Structure 1
């Protein structure tokens, strides 16, 4: 199963919350790691990279973007998107608290836009299967939104263990609005810092 329904700055209020609740804590680290698990065609990855650039943090970040669908991963790595989508993406970007002219982050080529190389240089794209593959070590922030809703309870538990073991103490986990850890083995191991937008912090 591979989930490909995605867009840049999907749910702008979520990104606004990440900017206010998580970014200030990332600023306390000299370097940090972010993992986008199930990154699909990469729109969320670039959304976060833009946010980090605007907050002066992109140079400190290593961003791991993973999916088990190699076609989607190759699409994401190229960072080429249909131009007709950009108006909606720009609207979402400004609603999320974007600070610049959105067109600063891509170039135009006929009916497509190409994401800036500046955004790509700290991104590591990798094939990874949440169901069968192992942890990433010492990650400070994990995004896995609207993926777990497609998993049964035992698979959700397996993936939540993967995330828990990958995160540093005090690290953050961001889930989709319809997802919860309430019925997993890890429900008491996080502090919910934004209930509505599913921002969780691993307990020390």
Structure 2
């Protein structure tokens, strides 16, 4: 029972850390603020995570896995592959409070100086590639997409890079009206890279 409670407490601390980073940014993050969110002592947070750096790294991984779980749920839908891909693209691009990108922008900038965060982000990126690639493979098998099997990995990497760049720009601009335009750009780019078999109507 003690072990189970410890695991639950770790998840609670990680979730609170993610909330704190999204609210105030990584630069302002203090272990004491995370502890205050849960009405804990800072020493208990450090007991579970030896350093602030370890806490931050695991918080990024925790947030990434939560996002991936939602993406996998979308990808598993019993719909045509091109429809599932559209749903993934729609969900991935920031929209109001639907999905917070603040933590990922913090993670990317931190990765320039922190090897552990860089490794964590690389692992998460591989997982994202796998989710998208599985949908595209299904689409290629059913004729939704004409991309060759050997080109799928590279095509997915291009689409995600395109999404990431537009997402950061959208977050900085803070213009929700711009989102519809960027969504059209993303879909047009994905169609060109994957060779969508059926034109959009």
Calculate the TM-score normalised by the size of structure 2.
0.27
Normalized per residue, the structure richer in helix is 2
Normalized per residue, the structure richer in strand is 1
Bigger Rg over Cα: 2
Calculate the TM-score normalised by the size of structure 1.
0.27
